[in-house]
């Protein structure tokens, strides 16, 4: 009897803790693990301020589905969360906590309307702490992301707008030596000005190099060979959390087009479209974790339980143990 009660408490406590997280899934989430934003008045293109002509956007060309492990869908670095997952494939938060450039907004059709990105995440050139500073200057792969968690479409899926940027040092090319170039670039960075353009085919390439990193490919993914049924799978690891990612290139969310796409004149050249219309739909599972004591794993959820209820719980469990002795 005592054992059954103890068991039911142990089962009940994690349920209490997770019930408070914003990402609990409603039962109406489609089997693919996200809602198509277009079904509820949203868009798969971001809204970019001050484009010419006005109203251009950037494609959200990768999605981490709500079918992923719930730990991966928590926007945190601890416990193998989303930020640790990003680090596992070589991407870090912005340089020294600075935020360069204009925000972009997206409407995921979840009832929130347009919201600015949660954050900008950059390729870290192998240096998790400072590498994203280098990306801000030298260019490289980066993405903005938004979480589909409004009450109209509560999937917990993470929508990412991935693109490969040119260096800002192009603007500083009049500087006559590399020291001056670096100073020029640092000044631009310090004033949080972002003049990045996107490289030729930079939306498709950014997506595919990210997928190559996530799935640990030994060769570059050839963007020209992708079809509406291409898949990749592979693993990435950081701080002893290992993630298995299954990627399905999915048609129908974006169009194979240049229409409405920011930087389309420089991204799609010689008659090719700026984007191929495929979205890399990724489902992520944690396949191994660092060995940690039960107490340190539980700690982030502890503030959700009041101190008095913890004391009561401990006393109750202790009394059950003394009863059964
Ligand atoms: C979004 O970011 C812009 C600046 O880039 C800011 O002016 C605006 O207030 C932000 N919107 C929200 C809802 O935070
Ligand atoms: C991983 O990302 C980096 C930076 O974008 C890129 O240079 C590299 O080719 C990618 N690796 C694969 C296998 O795609
Ligand atoms: C995938 O592409 C093939 C031809 O390339 C086409 O026949 C098929 O309808 C496409 N499927 C979807 C779901 O778009
Ligand atoms: C990535 O692939 C290399 C071999 O190409 C392998 O040594 C490494 O363990 C792989 N990493 C993960 C996280 O699977
Ligand atoms: C990862 O695990 C190894 C042992 O398997 C350990 O030596 C190392 O310290 C761990 N690293 C982290 C960051 O926890
Ligand atoms: C576009 O076409 C021109 C002329 O054929 C060629 O020189 C150039 O390399 C092409 N650019 C790309 C990105 O294919
Ligand atoms: C996109 O359209 C071009 C023709 O405009 C075609 O060659 C290409 O195969 C299409 N790509 C995909 C992924 O459907």
Q: Which of 157, 156, 78, 82 is nearest to 121 (CA)?
A: 82
Q: Which of 313, 235, 262, 219 is nearest to 17 (CA)?
A: 313
Domain boundaries, the chain: 1-22+292-325, 31-291
Strands (E), the chain: 62-64, 91-93, 105-106, 115-116, 119-123, 140-147, 158-165, 231-238, 241-250, 279-288
> Which protein residue's CA is at the shortest distance from atom 10 of ligand 5?
240
46-55, 237-246, 254-263: which has the minimum mean pLDDT?
46-55
Is the minimum distance from the CB of 260 to ligand 2 under 6 angstroms?
A: no
Is the minimum distance from the CB of 217 to ligand 2 under 6 angstroms?
A: yes
Mean pLDDT of 293-305: 43
The pLDDT, as a whole number, for residue 236 is 98
Is pLDDT above 80 for 307? no
- Taking the centre of ligand 5 as the mean of its atom positions, its distance from the CA of residue 284, in whole angstroms, is 22
- Taking the centre of ligand 5 as the mean of its atom positions, its distance from the CA of residue 88, in whole angstroms, is 14
Residue 39: count of CB within 10 angstroms of its CB: 11
Token pair of 162 as six digits: 């991935």
Is the minimum distance from the CB of 118 to ligand 1 under 6 angstroms?
A: no
Which of 166, 264, 269, 272 is the pocket-test mutation for ligand 6 (most atoms within 8 Å of CB)? 269
pLDDT in tens, 160-183: 999 998 877 566 666 667 777 777
Is pLDDT above 50 for 6? no
74-88, 149-163, 179-193, 255-269: which has the minimum mean pLDDT?
179-193
- Taking the centre of ligand 7 as the mean of its atom positions, its distance from the CA of residue 203, in whole angstroms, is 14
Ligand 7, atom nearest to 271 Cα:
5
Token pair of 308 as six digits: 């008095």
Mean pLDDT of 12-41: 70
The pLDDT, as a whole number, for residue 293 is 55
pLDDT in tens, 48-64: 998 888 999 999 999 99
Going from the C-alpha of 2 to that of each of 6, 309, 310, 324, the distances in angstroms are 6, 20, 19, 7
Is pLDDT above 60 for 25? no
What is the band of 271 on the pLDDT scale with cuts at 50, 70, 90?
A: confident
pLDDT in tens, 87-120: 999 999 887 777 766 799 999 999 999 999 999 9
């Amino acid at each position: 009897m005592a054992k059954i009660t103890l068991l039911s408490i142990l089962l009940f406590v994690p349920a209490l803790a997770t019930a408070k997280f914003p990402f609990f899934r409603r039962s109406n989430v489609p089997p693919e693990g996200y809602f198509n934003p277009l079904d509820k008045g949203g868009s798969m293109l971001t809204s970019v301020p001050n484009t010419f002509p006005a109203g251009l956007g950037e494609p959200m060309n990768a999605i981490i589905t709500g079918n992923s492990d719930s730990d991966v869908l928590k926007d945190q670095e601890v416990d193998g969360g989303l930020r640790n997952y990003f680090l596992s494939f070589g991407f870090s938060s912005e340089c020294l906590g600075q935020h360069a450039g204009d925000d972009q907004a997206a409407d995921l059709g979840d009832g929130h309307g347009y919201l600015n990105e949660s954050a900008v995440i950059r390729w870290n050139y192998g240096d998790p702490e400072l590498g994203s500073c280098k990306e801000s200057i030298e260019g490289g792969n980066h993405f903005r992301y938004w979480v589909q968690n409004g009450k109209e479409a509560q999937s917990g899926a993470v929508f990412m707008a991935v693109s490969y940027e040119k260096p800002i040092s192009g603007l500083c090319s009049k500087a006559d030596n590399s020291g001056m170039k670096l100073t020029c670039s640092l000044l631009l960075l310090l004033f949080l000005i972002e003049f990045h353009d996107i490289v030729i085919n930079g939306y498709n390439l950014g997506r595919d190099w990210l997928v190559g990193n996530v799935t640990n490919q030994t060769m570059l993914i050839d963007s020209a060979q992708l079809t509406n049924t291409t898949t990749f799978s592979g693993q990435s690891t950081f701080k002893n959390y290992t993630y298995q990612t299954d990627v399905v290139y999915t048609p129908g969310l974006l169009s194979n087009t240049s229409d409405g796409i920011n930087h389309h004149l420089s991204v799609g050249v010689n008659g090719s479209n700026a984007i191929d219309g495929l979205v890399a739909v990724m489902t992520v599972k944690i396949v191994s974790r660092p060995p940690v004591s039960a107490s340190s794993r539980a700690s982030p959820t502890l503030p959700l339980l009041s101190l008095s209820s913890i004391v009561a719980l401990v006393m109750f469990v202790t009394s059950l143990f003394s009863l059964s002795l």
